[in-house]
Amino acid sequence: MSNVFPIGSFASLKTPFYHYDLPLLSQTLSAIHTAIAPHHNFQVHYAIKANANPVILQTIARSGLGADCVSGGEIEAALYAGFPAEKIVFAGVGKADWEIELALRAGIACFNVESLPELEVINACALAMGRVANVAFRVNPNVDAHTHAKITTGLNENKFGIAMEDLLPAIRRAAEMQGVRYVGMHFHIGSQILELDVFDRLSERINQLQDELEAAGIHTSSINVGGGLGIDYAEPDAHPIPAFADYFGRFAHHLRLRAGQQLHFELGRSVVAQCGTLISRALYVKHGHTKDFLIIDAGFTELIRPAMYGSSHAIQNLTAAVGSAEAVYDVVGPICESSDVFGKDVTLAEAHRGDLIALRSAGAYGEVMASTYNCRRLPQSHFTFADK
């Protein structure tokens, strides 16, 4: 199932661009559906923030997943792509009034509420519109996700969610309001999580909370455990599809769901990362005094993850023939910032001006985080539609 690129068809395309392997996306979606099939009360919402390319969204919507949105723009994109409103959840620490109104008008499934002031505003908007909003409280479970500090969200010092000890008062406050209905708890502890026992800890924390809520006579109809499942950036061809069955199995095993309770997931990266590749061209090979630089025409304007999180993406020279000589390069982009580096001391097939250079596993948080810094143009996207 390795990703073989149709490089013949790339020859005439302007680089840099994103290439999406839609058959791999479909196989990934099938793997998700197969993995959740034994768990009738599990539902997956795709986290739109990972990739909002319309073709990607339509493919995911058609497969039957719901959508997890964090802005009014994402709700619009989800509706436009065909996600039904009743499968859309809306999270985010700073929902503006117009975004709340848009969500209420559309009739989304649930607001993931992150503070009491936000609850008051949702209630006021819903009353003014004659609606009742389903709300889940995002709870900060203080579980360490053992991932990059900038993508850890479940610790106490984060801006997200409300502390566990504040949950009960928040639910009681919601019960006094006419414009909101408490339906559940929402969690998200971080992203690119590879140590799956972190999810066991989260499940145990949720079990404790559920016991406390039940003791207080509170009924919870849905639990949302967010996203976070990581992918293999080092060897995308060895692991093109994440181990979804292991991931869902963790929750099935450790989380004590009550009768009739739904368990929601918000997967982003694990759905789309491996189907996307940033394709660029080698501009220059610069022989420095201590190292060689491979300067490519993509920069952090197209893929900001290495500069922002120090993350690495596998880099390949697609033009070089199999078995050709290798060389070691610092692979860098054209942006006028020293952080515009994709990899240091990277071994790849010897590169020449014009070679196609691939940055793999870029389908999540790639195109969607592109910018026009340095007055650059946003990257185009191209697709492989049929099976190779």
Q: Which residues bind ligand LLP (CB under 6 A)?
A: 47, 50, 68, 91, 151, 188, 191-192, 226-229, 266-270, 305, 309, 365
CB atoms within 10 A of CB 234: 12
Name the token pair of 87. 């499968």
CB closer to ligand LLP, 229 vs 349? 229
Q: Which CB sits closer to ligand LLP, 10 or 265? A: 265
Report, in Å, the least distance between residue 199 CB and ligand LLP: 12
Q: Which is nearer to ligand LLP, 131 or 239 (CB)?
A: 239
Our CB check for ligand LLP shows the closer of 180 and 272 to be 272
Burial call 8-24: b when 16+ CB within 10 Å, e when fewer: eebeeeebbbbbbbbeb
By residue count, the chain amounts to 388
Min dist CB 117 to ligand LLP, Å, is 19
- Residue in the structure block whose two tokens are 């609606």: 131
132-168 core/surface letters (b: 16 or more CB in 10 A; e: else): ebbbbbbbbbbbebebeeebbbbbeeeebbbebeebe
CB of 67 to ligand LLP, least distance (A): 11
If the CB atoms of residues 94 and 354 are measured against ligand LLP, the closer one turns out to be 94
Smallest distance from the beta carbon of 26 to ligand LLP, in angstroms?
Answer: 19
Minimal distance in Å, beta carbon 114 to ligand LLP?
Answer: 9
Residue nearer to ligand LLP on the CB measure, 266 or 330: 266
Alpha carbon distance 91, 94 (integer Å):
9
Contact predicate 154/187, CB 8 Å:
yes
Calculate the alpha carbon distances from 226 to 67, 99, 264 in Å: 12, 21, 7
Q: 269 or 281, CB closer to ligand LLP?
A: 269
CB of 194 to ligand LLP, least distance (A): 11
- CB-CB contact of 361 with 313 (8 Å): yes
Q: Is 18 left (phi over 0), alpha (psi -120 to 50) or beta?
A: beta
Closest approach of ligand LLP to the CB of residue 278, in Å: 13
